[in-house]
């Protein structure tokens, strides 16, 4: 039986991938960089350290990565304060799952963005641990953020069920040894090869029920 559930944030609880990319694209263009059509997919799963370096090295933003990171994160926090893009059923699903298992959050978002989400959504008490990929050595598809979440939960990764929406997220949770429920991102659908790694596939976070988690956790 599963002993913990670990959720991704962007694309699972928040409809935020498009917002991240709109803010990054506007920032790149404003600062004289060169936005590329492939940039959104290239950055999916990257930690803030990694995508800030990508904006500098590959897209030509003439600022140091730390300043890039700080400015983009500030714009995202302002955006969330205006409107938090919660996906339908997200708060309810979190609370139902938290009543049954300890929950972790394993996200590529910056620490301050995670904390802002938890505050605005009033979900801080539902998560036992929250980890940003900027707090581990490597972002997704490396398994680091999921392994660290399991370590802090004091649960064997093999006894965890992860919920992910992207190719790199699914690969990261699988590489950590977890059972994965895929909630495919509508704007940036996972590759077929990545989807095949998931044990279950659902249309939205509201479909991630305790019954489903228990069923796939027995496999």
- Sequence ranges of the domains in the chain: 4-15+86-217, 17-82
- Among residues 47, 168, 176, which one has the least CA distance to residue 104? 176
Class of 4-15+86-217 per CATH?
A: alpha beta
User: How many CB atoms are located within 10 Å of the residue 62 CB?
Assistant: 9
Distance CA(63)–CA(171), nearest Å, equals 31
How distant is the alpha carbon of residue 131 from its chain centre? 10
The model carries a pTM of: 0.92
In tens digits, what is the pLDDT along the chain, a chain of 219 residues?
899 999 999 999 999 989 999 999 999 999 999 999 999 989 988 989 999 999 999 999 999 999 999 999 999 999 999 999 999 999 999 999 999 999 999 999 999 999 999 999 999 999 999 999 999 999 999 999 999 999 999 999 999 999 999 999 999 999 999 999 999 988 889 999 999 999 999 999 999 999 999 999 776
């Amino acid at each position: 039986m599963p002993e913990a559930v670990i959720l991704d944030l962007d694309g699972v609880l928040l409809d935020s991938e498009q917002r991240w990319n709109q803010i990054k694209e506007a920032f790149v263009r404003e600062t004289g960089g060169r936005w590329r059509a492939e940039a959104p997919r290239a950055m999916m799963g990257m930690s803030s350290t990694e995508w800030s370096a990508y904006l500098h090295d590959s897209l030509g933003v003439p600022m140091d990565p730390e300043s890039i990171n700080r400015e983009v994160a500030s714009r995202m926090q302002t955006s969330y304060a205006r409107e938090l893009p919660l996906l339908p059923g997200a708060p309810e699903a979190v609370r139902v799952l938290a009543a049954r298992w300890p929950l972790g959050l394993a996200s590529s978002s910056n620490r301050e963005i995670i904390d802002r989400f938890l505050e605005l959504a009033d979900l801080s008490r539902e998560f036992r641990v929250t980890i940003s990929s900027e707090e581990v050595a490597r972002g997704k598809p490396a398994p680091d953020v999921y392994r660290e979440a399991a370590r802090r939960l004091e649960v064997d990764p093999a006894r965890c069920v992860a919920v992910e929406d992207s190719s790199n997220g699914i690969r990261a949770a699988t590489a950590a040894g977890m059972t994965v429920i895929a909630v495919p991102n509508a704007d940036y659908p996972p590759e077929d090869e990545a989807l095949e790694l998931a044990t279950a596939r659902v249309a939205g976070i509201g479909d991630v029920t305790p019954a489903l988690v228990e069923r796939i956790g027995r496999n």
